[in-house]
Amino acid sequence: MIRRNIVHRVNRRRRDPSAPPVYTNAGLSSATITGGKARFTFATNVLISGTPHILTAATSGGAVTQTATAVSVVSPTTIDLTYSVGPVTGSGYTIPLNDPSIRTNTGGYASAAAGTF
């Protein structure tokens, strides 16, 4: 019996294991205070899982470092954080390196940043 030649083709859907994945980190565009909440706007879309560990130094009642207790997603690039000690007034903030609660669509993290409102 005569057979056709078998054609061996590479599966194009399979990812090359030697190529590293491409992660895009989310840089912080702006940080403001709106309505007693701290609003953070990122340059790319972010996915929130849990409460981010963005620290702030409250100026009402002295320089006390506090963490966020609640988060609300305003848009894919904007989040509002509510802190444990009253409304947030003008203060500094710190985003830790590789916080697992803020990720991008491609698997990247929020870039570490520090600044003031």
CATH code (residue 49): 2.60.40.1220
Residues 6+ apart with CB under 8 A from 85: 58, 60, 61, 64, 66
Q: CA–CA separation, 16 vs 116, rounded Å?
A: 43
**Average pLDDT over the chain, rounded to whole?**
83
How many domains does the chain fold into? 1
- 102 domain residue, yes or no: yes
User: Could you tell me the residue range of the domain that residue 99 belongs to?
Assistant: 28-116
- 22 domain residue, yes or no: no
Summarize pLDDT for 45-71 with one digit per residue, the tens: 999 999 888 877 655 555 566 778 899
DSSP code of 68? E
Residues of the chain with pLDDT > 90: what percent?
30
- 21 domain residue, yes or no: no
